Amino acid sequence: MASPLTTTAQPATGTGDVILRTRGLTKQYGKRLAVNNLNLEVYRGDIFGFLGPNGAGKTTTIRMVLGLIAPTSGSVELLGQDIATHSAQILPRVGALVETPALYLYMTGRDNLRALSQSLGGVDDARIERVLVQVGLAARQKDRVRTYSLGMKQRLGVAMALMNDPDVLVLDEPANGLDPAGIVEMRELLRSLAAQGKTIVISSHVLGEVQQLCSRVGIINLGQLVTEARPDDLTRGTGMFMVYVEDAPAALAALQRESWSLGARLDPNGAIFTPAPDGRGRNLNKFLVDAGYIPDSIIYQNETLEQAFLRLTNAAPGGAR
Ligand SMILES: Nc1ncnc2c1ncn2[C@@H]1O[C@H](COP(=O)(O)OP(=O)(O)OP(=O)(O)O)[C@@H](O)[C@H]1O
Ligand SMILES: [Mg+2]
């Protein structure tokens, strides 16, 4: 499968554009198969969304990718080398945030980054300053982390992942606990990092978020890859049109007399959802105009990623195991 960004890619890993590859990756906890024979490929410049419900195996996979836990079987190749044998070469080029960041709550945000920089062998203050600006924490850098909101702690976690200016960022649920404004900020931050040429792997169960951000998506359920695709290819048309019209109940009654209008309904906001003759919006428009109900708008309805996800995983909303 080709990356949408391969045209700008600069192979430098000895394996072409593949930045991360898992082969038959499996993790068993007792009798539970947390990750089951996972084959994934992430290409340079991708923002790869690793999507699945609670307990699907996202964090377990990410821990194996980073070499934090050993797989039961299978292997991980990151930046062209096997993580099991070459983590010392690989990890300095990788920034990671797994679940909640480990922070010193009694220290300031800036001092947390200083402490980390010392453990990395020294990073200059200008770099710390730049990273703080990048994640939008410059104004609060001198406050103790204890006083930070959840979103600010999350952004400080991303700042820590960025300290060594990594080629690859692996972030487990970076939008976790963020409010809508925080989610938009995080999305813009990740976009700007990808624009700088970084490859980004994020896990998420926030489906709309992944759809807006990611160039490719892997859906995992019960430890297995369900599908791997571009977000646009995952969602498909529902065959329904959303119609706003002045006298919606009367227009709906007119629609419901037609054989092609199976499933037409009025939603609580006053919009009509209906199929169209031959599936074409122009035919629906003509029908409504001829019937005396001139539409204010007709919008074709694509499936949301959430609907696609539920269809592909066949899971009930909130369904974990
Ligand atoms: N250390 C462990 N010991 C035993 N079972 C574990 C362990 N870690 C994870 N599991 C199990 O492995 C499965 C996958 O868990 P994992 O944390 O990878 O899921 P996840 O996709 O990250 O879920 P979430 O969205 O809730 O973070 C779950 O059934 C979980 O209970
Ligand atoms: Mg998890």
- Six token digits for residue 66: 């980073």
179-202: burial string, b at 16+ Cβ within 10 Å, e else: eeebbebbbebbeebbeeebbbbb
pLDDT value for 315: 55
Same domain, 153 and 273: no
What is the CB-side half-sphere exposure of residue 321 using CA atoms within 13 A? 13
Pocket test for ligand 1, best of 28, 38, 58 (most atoms within 8 A of CB): 58
Using CA atoms, how far apart are residues 55 and 163, in angstroms rounded to an integer? 30
- Residue 296 lies inside a defined structural domain of this protein: yes
Task: Outline where 14-124 has alpha helix (H).
Answer: 58-65, 83-90, 109-119
The finding on whether 58 has its CB within 6 A of some atom of ligand 1 is yes
* Rounded (to 5) percent helix, strand, coil in the chain: 35, 25, 35
Indicate which ligand has the atom closest to the C-alpha of 34.
1
The amino acid occupying position 275 is: P
CA-closest residue to ligand 1 atom 29: 55
Same domain, 257 and 194: no
- Residue 311 lies inside a defined structural domain of this protein: no
pLDDT, tens digit only, all 321 positions of the chain: 444 433 333 434 444 489 999 999 999 999 999 999 999 999 999 999 999 888 999 999 999 999 999 999 999 999 999 999 999 999 999 999 998 778 999 999 999 999 988 887 777 889 899 999 988 899 989 999 999 988 889 899 999 999 989 999 999 998 887 888 888 888 998 998 999 889 999 999 877 778 889 999 999 999 999 888 888 887 888 899 999 999 999 999 999 999 999 999 999 999 999 999 999 999 999 999 999 999 999 999 988 877 888 888 775 444 444
Same domain, 23 and 117: yes
pLDDT value for 15: 43
| Spatial CB neighbours of 292, under 8 Å, sequence gap ≥ 6 | none
pLDDT value for 172: 94
SS (H, E, C) 246-313: CCHHHHHHHHHCCCCCCCCEECCCCCEEECCHHHCHHHHHHHHHHCCCCCCEEEEEECCHHHHHHHHH
Using CA atoms, how far apart are residues 43 and 48, in angstroms rounded to an integer? 8
211-235: burial string, b at 16+ Cβ within 10 Å, e else: bebbbbbbbbbbbbbbbbbebeebb
CA angle centred on 170, ends 164 and 173, rounded to 5°: 125
Q: How many domains does the chain have?
A: 2
Same domain, 117 and 225: yes
Check which CATH number belongs to the domain holding 244 and give it.
3.30.70.100
- Residue 309 lies inside a defined structural domain of this protein: no
Indicate which ligand has the atom closest to the C-alpha of 204.
1
Same domain, 246 and 222: no
- Residue 195 lies inside a defined structural domain of this protein: yes
Calculate how far, in angstroms, residue 170's C-alpha sits from the geometric centre of ligand 1.
Answer: 17
Same domain, 226 and 243: no
The finding on whether 60 has its CB within 6 A of some atom of ligand 1 is yes
Place of tokens 């593949």: 18
The finding on whether 28 has its CB within 6 A of some atom of ligand 1 is no
The finding on whether 55 has its CB within 6 A of some atom of ligand 1 is yes
Residue from 291, 296, 301, 295 nearest 257 by CA: 291
Same domain, 200 and 247: no
- Residue 316 lies inside a defined structural domain of this protein: no
Domain's final residue, options 232, 267, 291: 232
The finding on whether 54 has its CB within 6 A of some atom of ligand 1 is yes
CA-closest residue to ligand 1 atom 27: 54
Using CA atoms, how far apart are residues 296 and 294, in angstroms rounded to an integer? 7
pLDDT value for 2: 42
The H-or-E segment that residue 95 falls in is: strand 94-97
Place of tokens 């292997």: 75
Cβ-contact 8, 17 below 8 angstroms: no
Prediction pTM value: 0.81
Per the structure, the complete domain to which residue 146 belongs is given by 6-232
Same domain, 54 and 113: yes
Indicate which ligand has the atom closest to the C-alpha of 35.
1
